[in-house]
């Protein structure tokens, strides 16, 4: 028996091809896409304007399945966090941040993260695997459905949209899971799905330079770059990816991206770490570094966790740092900490995902292989399992 196709895994062109393989006309793909993504419908029998013969084909060949909810927590400030099961002991987190004039969903693209930034608790849990298209877009599909249900808002294009903005700032590095991420972006932007503007979808990257260039041509949305340091020596320590793609290459890629971007600036994210990257000297170094890159800065108060050995810059230091940037004419904001009482704040998305990525198991295997092979250990390309 052939496996059922999860239709959440199909971006617009893919769904069109799939319907064609069923012998259906192109307009059926658009109808189906609207039912799935605008109405949040997973029951084919409820898709009343589809021919009965098509609904029977869908029952036989397809499913609509988002990741299952393991837990659902709401913060005192209204922030809502879901822990989602993505199979084989892996879980990811998705966070909704309500504001007066918009609702922002923070989406994950990987189970865990391989970049291992020093100040990010998600990176400390290690990396398990990339998410599929359905697991990425399924977070938006599920959150919009649950949020509407909680407010009694009708499903469909006439119901008030609860999620107006999406940021790919959750677990994982989006550009290290490129194809599924771009497919999910295309669904977010498609008028027969979520119809979000490119300005309202932001992808955050730690600086995978070749993929920034590729994204510019494939699906240029708003770009945020996790900068966090004003020189290569410091960034090598905080963001290990910098050793492969140093600041000079990263900033050049940002300038190239702006030729295609929906906004005329790049947002640089900067986590404020007490005594590490928050001095007046660091601020002035930043100004010199980004002098020819149209940008704004988003300063992020660090959310401490024990393994980091780092502390949050105090409010006065953050304010003084921001003032140096603003006095030089650079738009600078300080991110308001949201959802920290449910571990949903920036850099905290690891919380309940304890040891689900088999990091300890892999480390134990590595130690065993090192003991067995001694000096030849470095020649081993991959540890089984």
Which positions are catalytic?
Answer: 93, 346
Cα–Cα distance measured from residue 73 to residue 161, given in angstroms and rounded to the nearest whole number: 21
Instruction: Evaluate the CA torsion angle 320, 323, 324, 325 in order and state its sign.
Output: positive
Helices (H), 242-358: 247-257, 280-289, 315-327
Cα–Cα distance measured from residue 38 to residue 246, given in angstroms and rounded to the nearest whole number: 42
Please tell me whether residue 225 adopts helix, strand or coil conformation. strand
Cα–Cα distance measured from residue 104 to residue 162, given in angstroms and rounded to the nearest whole number: 9
Tokens 């589809």, residue located: 50
Planar angle of CA 35, 222, 282, nearest 5 degrees:
145
Cα–Cα distance measured from residue 112 to residue 350, given in angstroms and rounded to the nearest whole number: 8
Instruction: Evaluate the CA torsion angle 276, 280, 285, 288 in order and state its sign.
Output: positive
The token pair at 287 is 């100004």
Cα–Cα distance measured from residue 257 to residue 253, given in angstroms and rounded to the nearest whole number: 6
For the beta carbon of residue 182, count every other beta carbon within 10 angstroms: 20
Q: Are 237 and 271 in contact (CB under 8 A)?
A: no
């Amino acid at each position: 028996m052939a496996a059922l196709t999860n239709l959440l895994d199909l971006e617009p062109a893919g769904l069109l091809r799939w319907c064609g393989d069923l012998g259906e006309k192109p307009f059926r793909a658009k109808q189906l896409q609207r039912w799935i993504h605008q109405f949040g419908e997973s029951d084919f029998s409820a898709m009343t304007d589809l021919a009965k013969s098509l609904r029977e084909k869908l029952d036989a060949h397809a499913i609509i399945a988002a990741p299952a909810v393991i837990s659902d927590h709401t913060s005192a400030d209204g922030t809502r966090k879901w822990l989602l099961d993505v199979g084989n002991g892996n879980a990811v987190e998705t966070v909704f941040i309500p504001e007066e004039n918009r609702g922002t969903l923070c989406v994950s693209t990987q189970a865990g993260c391989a970049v291992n930034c020093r100040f990010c608790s998600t990176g400390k849990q290690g990396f398990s695997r990339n998410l599929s298209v359905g697991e990425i877009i399924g977070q938006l599909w599920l959150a919009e459905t649950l949020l509407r249900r909680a407010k009694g808002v009708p499903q469909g294009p006439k119901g008030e949209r609860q999620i107006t903005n999406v940021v790919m700032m959750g677990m994982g590095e989006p550009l290290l899971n490129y194809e599924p991420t771009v497919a999910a972006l295309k669904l977010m932007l498609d008028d027969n799905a979520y119809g979000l503007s490119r300005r309202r979808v932001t992808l955050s990257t730690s600086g995978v330079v070749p993929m920034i260039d590729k994204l510019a041509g494939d699906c240029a949305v708003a770009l945020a770059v996790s900068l966090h340091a004003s020189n290569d020596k410091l960034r090598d320590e905080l963001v290990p990816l910098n050793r492969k793609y140093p600041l000079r290459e990263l900033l050049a890629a940002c300038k190239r991206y702006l030729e295609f971007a929906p906004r005329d600036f790049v947002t640089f994210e900067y986590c404020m770490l007490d005594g590490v990257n928050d001095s007046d000297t660091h601020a002035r170094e930043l100004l010199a570094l980004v002098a020819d890159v149209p940008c704004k800065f988003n300063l992020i108060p660090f959310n401490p966790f024990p393994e980091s050995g780092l502390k949050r810059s105090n409010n006065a230091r953050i304010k003084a740092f921001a003032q140096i940037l603003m006095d030089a004419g650079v738009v600078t904001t300080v991110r308001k900490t949201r959802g920290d009482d449910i571990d949903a704040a920036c850099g905290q998305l690891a919380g309940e995902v304890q040891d689900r990525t088999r990091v300890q198991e892999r480390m134990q295997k590595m130690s065993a292989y090192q003991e067995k092979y001694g000096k030849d250990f470095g020649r081993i390309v991959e540890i089984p399992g």
